[in-house]
Structure formats: C-alpha cells, structure tokens
Amino acid sequence: MQYRSTRGQITETLNSPQAVIQGLAPDGGLFVPVNFPQVDLPLPNLATMSYQAIAELVLGWFFDDLSKDQLHQIVQGAYGSQWDDATIAPLSKEHAGNYYLELFHGPTLAFKDIALQVLPRLMQKALTIEKNSNEIIILTATSGDTGTASMRGFSDQDGTRVIVFYPHGGVSPVQLRQMLGQRGDNLTAIAIEGNFDDAQTAVKTIFNDQSFNDQLLANGFQFSSANSMNIGRLIPQIVYYLSAYGQLVRRGDIKLGNEVNFTVPTGNFGDILAGYYAKKLGLPINRLICASDENNVLTDFFNTGHYDRQRPFFLTNSPAMDILVSSNLERLLFDIYDESAPSINQLMEQLKNDGKYSINAGARAKLHTHFNAGFATQQEVQREIKRIYQQDGYVIDPHTAVASFVANEYYSANNDPTPNVIISTASPYKFPETVYQAITDKQSPVTGLYAITELRQLLKQPLSPNVQQLFEQSQKNEQVIQPDQMKPTIRQILQL
C-alpha cells in the first residue's frame, strides 16, 4: 500500500511503514492511500468474528507491507488483558431508542485506546521494517484523551519518546490526573496557556519547521504523531464500525444487509471519518450523523458548506470536543474533491490565511449523500444524561450525551426507520462531576477521585479495574508554558 499527501506538494509516495513513522506529510498535508482498498467485505462473517479477527483483516488491507504474523502480534498485544471487557467494544442493548457502542473499556477509559494500543506496536514494526534507528519523538496536541492514551500506549516503548501539550484548565480533573500520573521514563505532558487549537496549530508548525527537523535528524531524532493525523491512528478506528454491525446481526437486532446509522461525537473528525471509510469499504451505513458541542463549526460546515473557525471558543462540559480546527476533515475533503490535491491545498491556505473557506456545490452535494449534523448545548447535554438514566437506568458521559441528543433531534425531524448506533467515546467515570450533576441536579461538591466515589455511591455500581487504577496513581507537578515556548521546551527535553 502506497500513501500520498492530501496537498500534493510532495510528489513521492510512501509505503505504509514510512507513512506511520512520518505521521504528517512534509507539505502539511495528511497521508491517504494512493488507491483506497477495493475489497470484498465479508459481511456475513462479521457476526461470528472476534474483534481481534476483524482488526487483523482491516489492518491487513491498509498496512499490507506487514506480514500476517506481524499484524497478528500487533493485534494480540493491543487487545488483551488491559481491557475490562473481552469484547473490546461491546454494543449495549437498545436504550431509549439507540444502541451505544462502548469504546471506553480500555486502560484510559476512552475510545482513543482502540487505536493507541495499536499505534505503538505498529510503529515498532514499521521501524524494524524500515531499519530506522532514529529515536521517534511522538509530538502530540491533546484536548484530553489523546494525550492520556498516547502516554499509556507508548510508556517505556524502546526507541520512542512522547511529548504531549494540552490546554491549561481545558481538560477534566480525571484526564489531568491520568496524564500527570502516567509513569514512563519516556513521557512528558505540559500545559499551555491557550486552547486545544493553539496547541494543535503550534504542533503542526513545529512539524513543518524544516530547519528544526534537520537538527533533530542530525541528533538521531525524528518527529511523528499520535493524533489521528497519523494514518496509523486512524485506520484501527474503522474496526469498531464493522464490529458493531456484526454484533447487531448476531443478536438479531438487524438482518444481514440492513443499513445502520451511526451518530458520532466529534471534534477533530477522525472518529467519524473512520465511519466514512468503513462505508467506502462496503459496510451498509445509511447516514453518518456528526454531533458537535457548542463549538459547532462542523455543524455549520455540513449545513452550509462554509467552514469558519473565526468564532468564540467555548470551554464546555464535553472538553475533548472543544475544537475549532478539525484536522481530519481534510481527508474527507480530499475524497469529495475527487482527490484533487491542488483544490485541497487552496482550501487549507484559505483556512490558514483567512480562517475560513467554502466548498463548491458539487462537493456539498456529495457530503449530503452521507452526512447529517447537529450540536448540543451544555444544558442539553446534562438533560440528555438525565433523560437516558431516568428512562432506562443507563449512564452516559457528556460526549456520548452530545451524540445522543443530536441523534434524537435528527430522528424527530426525519422519517428515518434506520436503527441508530451512538459512538460512546468515554466512561461516565472520566467526567464524574458532570454526570453527577446531570443525574441529581446538584453541583458535585468534589472533583476527580472524590467525585468518582460519589458517583459510584449514587449509581451503586462496582468500579471496573481500569477505573479503580486511577486511585493508585501518584501525581507529577503540572508544568505550564506559553505557546511560543513549545519549541524551546522540546529542545530542552531533548537536550539539543
């Protein structure tokens, strides 16, 4: 499998190990397959296949430079005893009209584990194949979950180092505790004064600083990314869409070949893009419903064709979605513009220089064949958590509640009989303050671990081993810097 940049300013293609190692293309674009896999999706088999078997199948389509034995080792290591549920991504029964795909049973209690248990192992195999002896510096901006899952996945992995930048005050107490409590000699997490977009923009700028990259190489270092900008982070997320469909068929909730809708809470767009790729592979998906919080730049984009990041930035009760620059949207644009790299380069230049762009009528028409979009306010998020709990005793986190609210708005406005699966991206115990307040209508008097205990007592549920582990982590001190200090800080960490 060969990969190219969405922006087309570099003409050479890379094999899959090279694309995984490099992470971001030198022209600022994202790597996409030169030829998207044309496969015979074994739809009838999904109902009987384990999550691991589906993962090996999907990874083999996109990373065919790796042997079957190498892929088997990656998958078995990624989806083993570190998960609280042997199903890996279990699908709930129907609750208040929707199914919930629980992606939070991994070590950091959020969907990022699905891919970030794969990526470090994939990276190690890629380095071996390419005979690359550089130390790989995983440079990542996070709105909370990616940083935690990256640090957990790469902890003490030989030949790698992780540097995470996150917005000061812009992550939940549990997310912060996880980042500051994760142990590993190769891990660093630093707060910046600013929001996630400030961190992500600075990380992209550093990635594209050729002189800095040359200095790194001269000292035996090389940047890569654990964000969904890295194709090795994105592709494993396709698997859970196929797994969800198989579970629906196995239980008799749908018949083989029936279409399904997926409603996805998204900020950086990688999660829902994986669903779009699953549809391209042949999964019977009717609508992909893009759910945003009050930072609803994606809702406006899908409804109008205009993308404009020049708007107020809100810190909400769904902090992992507090994003105004959705990097993975670039891959979707590349697809709907018939893989025209010059068109994508022009749009991204407009976004960089003007803070906005508009797509043409043809591209907008293609979007409308696949996507719907909506958003939820913070008050609507809290009401949705309470509604689901009161109706069915089922507890969801605020990000999942964004999707649940948007899904119900969609079904109220459309005569669509298609069953709906909500991508449930985080454990309620990762955001216990918001969940407690939503259910009780009372402000939680405590935060972090104390709030987890309070919520557990309210719900009368035992804590899973991965939630319990939070109580056993000691904490490092938080370091806070200005965004313009990110590059000097990296130099200091690497002793350049």
The full DSSP string for 246-270 is HHHHHHTSS-TT--EEEEEE-SSSH
Beta-strand relationship, 31-33 and 2-5? antiparallel
Cα atoms found within 13 Å of the Cα of residue 312, Cβ hemisphere only: 5
Q: What does the DSSP 8-state code read for residue 110?
A: B
What is d(CA 395, CA 387) in angstroms, rounded to the nearest whole number? 10
What is d(CA 200, CA 451) in angstroms, rounded to the nearest whole number? 30
The closest alpha carbon to 240, from 105, 386, 395, 141, belongs to 105
CA distances from residue 296 to 155, 167, 303, 378 in whole angstroms, order as listed? 34, 19, 11, 12
Report the Cα 155 to chain-centroid distance in Å: 19
The closest alpha carbon to 37, from 278, 209, 309, 268, belongs to 278
Cα atoms found within 13 Å of the Cα of residue 354, Cβ hemisphere only: 11
What is d(CA 212, CA 92) in angstroms, rounded to the nearest whole number? 48
47: tokens are 């109902």
What value does the CA radius of gyration of the chain take, rounded to a whole number of Å? 21
What is d(CA 466, CA 429) in angstroms, rounded to the nearest whole number? 10
By annotation, the residues acting in catalysis are 112
Query: Per residue in 444-465, is it b (16+ CB within 10 Å) or e — as a string?
Result: beebeeebbebbeeebeeebbe
Q: What does the DSSP 8-state code read for residue 391?
A: H
| Counts of helices then strands in the chain (DSSP H, E) | 22, 15
Helix axes 119-130, 68-78, angle to 10 degrees: 150
Please answer whether residues 89 and 117 qualify as being in contact, where contact means their C-beta atoms are separated by less than 8 angstroms: no
Greatest Cα pair distance in the chain: 61
Q: In a 10 Å sphere around its CB, with 0-12 CB exposed, 13-18 middle and 19+ buried, how is residue 36 labelled?
A: middle
18 three-class SS: helix
What is d(CA 226, CA 132) in angstroms, rounded to the nearest whole number? 18
CA dihedral sign, ordered 47, 53, 57, 63: positive
